[in-house]
Amino acid sequence: MHPGASSTRKVGDIEALRRRVHVILNSMPELGEFCDRCLNTMRWGGSVVLMVVDAALTSSGLNYFTAVVPKIMQFSERFVEKGVYDSLIKLSRLDIGSALPLLRNERCWRVAREVAASLKCFGEEDREALRNWAALSDLEKWRLDPVGSLKGVGLVTYQYLRMMGGVDTVMPDRVVKRVMNRLLAEAGFQPVWRDLDFIKTVSKVAAEMGVRPVELCWMTWLHEGESTKLRSKATPSILLKI
C-alpha cells in the first residue's frame, strides 16, 4: 500500500465519505451514462480525433464548458465533418495555421498533432488505436510512454486520454484534487497532494465506496468546477453531445 493510501485509511471514515459522495452522484443521474461512453471510447460520437483535440485544448487551462467545448464543436464542423481531419492519420498532418483561427494557441494544436501521430501506430482504426494504447499504458512509467513523453503532454492530459481509451482512472487536475481532498478531509482522511499518490488513493477509496474513479473525476468538475448556472446548462444537454 502506498504512503498516501496508508495514512488515509488510518483516520478516515469510509462510510461518511460514501454517504457524501452518493448524495452528490445522485444529483447527477446522467453522469453514469456519460462515464460509460467515456470508458467505451464513444465520447464525441465516437470520434477519436475530437477526443484528442479535447485533451489537447483542455490542457490550455480554459474553462471546459464555456470555452473548450465550443472550440471542439467548431473544429468538428469545420474540419471533421468535411473530411479534412477526420482520422488520426489526417490529424497527424494538421496544418496548425488552419486551426489557429479557432484558438490562437500553437502549443495545443501541436500537442493534438503529435498525440495523433503517436496513437495512429497502435491500430488500423482510430478507436482501436486509442484503446490499444490505453491498455498498454503504465501510470508508473508515464513519462516514458510514447504519448506521455511528448512535449506539452503532462500527467493530467495523459490520464484524460487513458480514460477516454477505456482506463477507469482519475485526472489529478486542480479542481479534482481540491474537491476530492476536501471530501476526504471532511470524512477524516488525510488529503493527498502528490499526483501519483492522489490517483492511487482516489482509485482505492472509489473501489471501497463502490463507485468508479472516472465518476469521481467528472463529479468534481460538474459539482464545483463550474457555476451552478453553468451546471444546469451543461447537464444533461451538453453531456449528451460530448
3-state helix/strand/coil string of 64-110: HHHHHHHHHHHHHHHHHCCCCCCCHHHHCCCCHHHHCCCCCCHHHHH
126 and 233 housed in the same domain = no
158 and 68 housed in the same domain = yes
159 and 175 housed in the same domain = no
Q: Which of 113, 139, 164 is the last residue of a domain?
A: 164
Q: Which of 164, 183, 205 is the last residue of a domain?
A: 164
Q: Are 185 and 179 in contact (CB under 8 A)?
A: no
pLDDT of residue 5: 46
Of 152 and 8, more confident: 152
Grid cell in block for residue 85 = 481531419
pLDDT grade for 236, boundaries at 50, 70 and 90: low
Distances (CA, A) of 112 to 13, 59, 133: 42, 10, 16
Q: Which domain holds residue 212?
A: 3-37+170-241
Q: Are 135 and 125 in contact (CB under 8 A)?
A: no
Question: Number of structural domains, the chain?
Answer: 2
52 and 104 housed in the same domain = yes
- What pLDDT, in 10s, does the model give residues 76-87? 999 999 999 999
15 and 99 housed in the same domain = no
Of 132 and 223, more confident: 132
49 and 29 housed in the same domain = no
Distances (CA, A) of 235 to 72, 121, 173, 190: 18, 35, 21, 31
143 and 33 housed in the same domain = no
Please, which residues have CB within 8 angstroms of residue 35's CB and are 6 or more apart in sequence?
212, 214, 215, 218
Report the percentage of the chain scoring pLDDT > 70.
90
Q: Which of 104, 129, 164 is the last residue of a domain?
A: 164
pLDDT mean over 194-216: 97
140 and 232 housed in the same domain = no
pLDDT mean over 157-173: 98
Q: Are 49 and 126 in contact (CB under 8 A)?
A: yes
158 and 190 housed in the same domain = no
185 and 86 housed in the same domain = no
- What pLDDT, in 10s, does the model give residues 76-131? 999 999 999 999 999 999 999 999 999 999 999 999 999 999 999 999 999 999 99
- What pLDDT, in 10s, does the model give residues 173-194? 999 999 999 999 999 999 999 9
Q: Compute the chain's Rg from CA coordinates.
A: 18
74 and 32 housed in the same domain = no
Average pLDDT across the chain, whole number = 91
pLDDT mean over 204-219: 97
142 and 62 housed in the same domain = yes
pLDDT grade for 66, boundaries at 50, 70 and 90: confident
pLDDT mean over 225-235: 50
Q: Does the structure show a pLDDT above 60 at 61?
A: yes
Phi, psi of 26 (to 5 degrees): -65, -20
Q: Are 91 and 60 in contact (CB under 8 A)?
A: no
> Grid cell 489526417 — which residue?
90
pLDDT of residue 104: 97
